[in-house]
Each structure stands twice: as structure tokens, then as C-alpha cells.
Amino acid sequence: MAQLSSRRSGATTAQGHRFASALLVLAGASLFGTVGTAQALGPEVPASSLAAARMFTTAVAFALLAAAVGRIAQVPVALRQSPAWWAGLGQGAFNLFFLAAMTEAGVAVGTLVAIGAAPVLTGLITRHVTKAWVLATSVAVAGLALLVVGQQSGPVAASPLGVGLALGAAASYATYIVAGNAAEARGLETHSFLAAAFGVSALVTLPWLVLGDLAWVATGGGALLLGYLVVVPTIMAYSLFNRGLRGVRSSTASTLALIEPVVAATLAFVLLDERLGALGLVGAGLILLGLLLIVRTAGSASHDGPAELPVRPVG
């Protein structure tokens, strides 16, 4: 009886851990959803220059944070692991693609396509798909389609180039999620891993930082925009998101991240006059329903732990 009670207690604890992890991913992804609106409300800045400055400043900030918590010595350890390099490449590419997509496709559609395609790509990469995941993701992606169709008007009309950039962002985002999940599976400490990964991202985007026009950084509006993007939807968001990856699979995390386009569309509707019609509102509701299904699955599944990235450590 004692052994049975111990097993039940362990199962309950594991379910609670998965549920808490899902909520952390949702919290981080919600903060991601503020990027496009902040960019639109800020001064007119070259997207590639903004992405490069964001990655460089974030890398420095994460390194300082790792030092502050006594984890700086583990950064080289993380850099010897392939997930840090895959995550860095994915994050650097994502920022270049995503911020450009905001300009070419608008905040709502750009975010919806970039984040909405990520669960499908992540599922294909990891092949960690279950019936519950397929159902929840199908409902959410159907809602995504309605949300895009339901965008009635806005200051920016989506273009084929913008959609293409958003799809590039989706592939990059999927790469980051799978790599971050692998880092947690290998037991890499979160602060040092993020410092290493964003250090790689800074290297990836360094040409745009060196060759780009950075005069905007010296302006009040430019400095405020950069500071916000670094602190809220990057440092705070990725700290929450990566901790959540400890308890959910990559495929689950990428579906949970669909909260981001809902936040982005809501902010675009309220602050940027990017209107959503009835179909868009129904779509947002379906996305939230899909998220509810995946959160319930995360809390009750018999096994939904993080999965390894199918690559070998470097060095």
C-alpha cells in the first residue's frame, strides 16, 4: 500500500511539474507577442539593424546575468554542446526574418504565420506527435487560418515577401525550440545556456551590426525600443520559456507558443488599428481552445518530458 501511495504521489508531482512547465511556456510566449507592436510604435528603424543590436545587447545582458548568479563558468561548458549552437543559429535567423516580416506583412499576419507554422515544423522535426497533440494543434492552426483571413484592415498589407519571411522565421523558431528542449534534456543550466546561445546569435547577426546604420540607438525612442525588446520579450520571456522546456516536449511547447499571435493580434487591434472581423475573433477563440487542450494534455499525460535533439555534442 505504501508503495502504491508513493507511486501515486510521484505521478501527481510529475503532472504538476508538467502543468507548471506549460504555464511557464505560455507566460514566455505571451511576452514574445509584444515584439511587433513595440516595433510598430517605436521609431522607424531598419529591421536587420534592430535585430543585430537586440542580439548583441541581449548576449551581453545574459552573460552579466550568468555572472551575477555565479554561472558564468558554465558558459564554455554550454558552448561545447551542440544545442547552444543550434539555438543560437535559430535565434539569430529568427530575429532577422521576424522583424523584417513585421515590416512586410504587418504585425498580426506576420506574427500569425511565423508562429503558427512553427508547431507543424517542430512536429515534423521531432516526430513527437500524439493524437491529443494532433487534435490540439489542428484546432489551433485552423483558428490561425481564420485569424489571418479575419484581418479586415490595417496600415500594412501582407505581401508574398512578407509571408515568405514569416515562414523563414517559423523554421528558425522551430530550430530554437528543439535545441532549447535538448539543452534542458542534457541538464544544461538555463542562465549559462542562454548566455551561450545568444552569444552565438550575436555572432550570426554581427555583420548587420557592423555594417548597419546605428544612429537610431542614440535617440531616445530608439534606445527605449531596444531596451524594451532586450528586457521584456527577450531576457524575461526566454528565461520563462526555457524553464518551461524542462517539463514539456518541443512539439507541445511550439503549440503552446501559439498564444503569441493571439497576444500580438489583440495588441495590434487595440493599439495599431489592425482590425479583425468575426472570422478573426472565431479564429482567436479556436487558438485558445487548442491551447486549453494542450495544457490539459500536459497536465495529465503519462509522459511528456523533454526530448533530445538528434545531434552530438561539439568537442
C-alpha cell at position 72: 558564468
Q: Which residues 6+ apart lie within 8 Å of 51 measured at CB?
A: 92, 95, 96, 98, 99, 100, 205, 208
Burial class, 314, CB count within 10 angstroms (exposed 0-12 / middle 13-18 / buried 19+):
exposed
Closest-CA residue to 177 (of 304, 288, 86): 86
Report the distance separating Cα 308 and Cα 295, nearest Å.
Answer: 21
- In this prediction, residue 158 carries a pLDDT of 59
C-alpha cell at position 44: 522607424
Q: How many CA atoms lie within 13 A of 19 on its CB side?
A: 11
Closest-CA residue to 230 (of 94, 60, 114): 60
Long-range CB pairs of 204-207 (<8 Å, 24+ gap) are 204/55, 204/88, 204/89, 204/92, 204/93, 205/48, 205/51, 205/52, 205/55, 205/56, 205/92, 205/95, 205/96, 206/52, 206/56, 207/52
For the chain, domain boundaries: 23-300
pTM exceeding 0.85: no
- In this prediction, residue 312 carries a pLDDT of 32
- In this prediction, residue 108 carries a pLDDT of 66
Q: For residue 82, which amino acid is it? A: S
Report the distance separating Cα 193 and Cα 245, nearest Å.
Answer: 13
Low-confidence ranges of the chain (pLDDT < 70): 1-14, 16, 107-108, 128-129, 148, 150-158, 275-276, 295, 297-315
- In this prediction, residue 221 carries a pLDDT of 94
